[in-house]
Amino acid sequence: MNAQTVNRRAVLRTTGLLTAGLLLGAAPAAAVTRRPTPAGAWAELRRGNRRWASGKVVHPHQDRARRDEVAEKQEPYATVVSCIDSRVAPELVFDAGLGDLLTVRSAAQTIDPLVSGAIEYGPAQLDVPLIVVLGHQRCGAVSAAAHALNKGRELPGRLQDIVEALRPAYEHADGDVEKMTKLNTIGVVTELKADRLLVRRITRGRLEIVGAYYSLDTGLVTRLV
């Protein structure tokens, strides 16, 4: 048996194994992707944010190929809990794309049972390894709540619920709105770290919860906790 025959048989054997694997639903080795670690997910967000802040965005995963890729299945690598502020869109701030992030947005990134359930979904159902609670500079919701609490006024409708959620941060911020924002962000992180569904994943090293702060002036995200 000559070398050419041996090589041909090796190729046919490999091709047959790949075909069988595809028929059984297995992906070729080159197509297998691994879920990032919590540290790896945070590093990816930081890289994207540095691109955003420096004006060197690449707009990843924003084409038709990506749309087709995630049409049947999503594998986001992080959940970002941020404010509803129009200037703080997580996919832009972190230069991310379709299928990369789960975003949960509320006024001043406050949480209640429904918001908490939305946050739990990523780690519990999609094995998302990272949650980032993102406060930001000059938050209108925080400013409004601080003003209302300072004047002893009650805001109309459900806006007062936001005020009450921010009251603990207000009481420790000494009238400083930016400090209030950061204290509230850290408080939300603390609350999420005590969540019964999330704490099990944290203790196993499968989830990390980070508190961060976004500067409207510079575009940079800095870690608080």
| pLDDT of 1 over the 60 cut | no
The pTM (predicted TM-score) of the whole model is: 0.85
Task: Give the angle 209-109-213 at the CA atoms, nearest 5°.
Answer: 65
8 Å CB contact between 41 and 210: no
Predicted confidence at residue 39, as pLDDT, reads 98
Domain boundaries, given as residue ranges, for the chain: 1-32, 35-223
Task: For the chain, give the number of residues.
Answer: 225
Q: In CATH, what number does 35-223 get? A: 3.40.1050.10
| pLDDT of 11 over the 90 cut | no
Q: How far apart are the C-alpha atoms of 142 and 148, rounded to whole Å?
A: 10
Task: Report pLDDT digits (tens) over 86-140.
Answer: 999 999 999 999 999 999 999 999 999 999 999 999 999 999 999 999 999 999 9
Return the H-helix or E-strand segment holding 11: helix 3-23
Q: Is 136 labelled as part of a ligand binding site? A: yes
8 Å CB contact between 122 and 128: yes
HEC-encoded secondary structure of 151-169: HCCCCCCCHHHHHHHHHHH
Q: Is 85 labelled as part of a ligand binding site? A: yes
E strands of the chain, at which residues? 78-82, 101-105, 130-136, 208-214, 221-223
Q: Which of 1-10, 15-24, 41-50 has the lowest mean pLDDT?
A: 15-24
Q: Is 139 labelled as part of a ligand binding site? A: yes
Q: Is 95 labelled as part of a ligand binding site? A: no
| pLDDT of 30 over the 50 cut | no
- Buried-state track 24-60, b at ≥16 Cβ within 10 A, e below 16: eeeeeeeeeeeebebeebbebbbebbebbbeeeeeee
Predicted confidence at residue 33, as pLDDT, reads 52
With CA atoms as reference, report the closest residue to 109 among 219, 209, 4.
209
Predicted confidence at residue 35, as pLDDT, reads 81
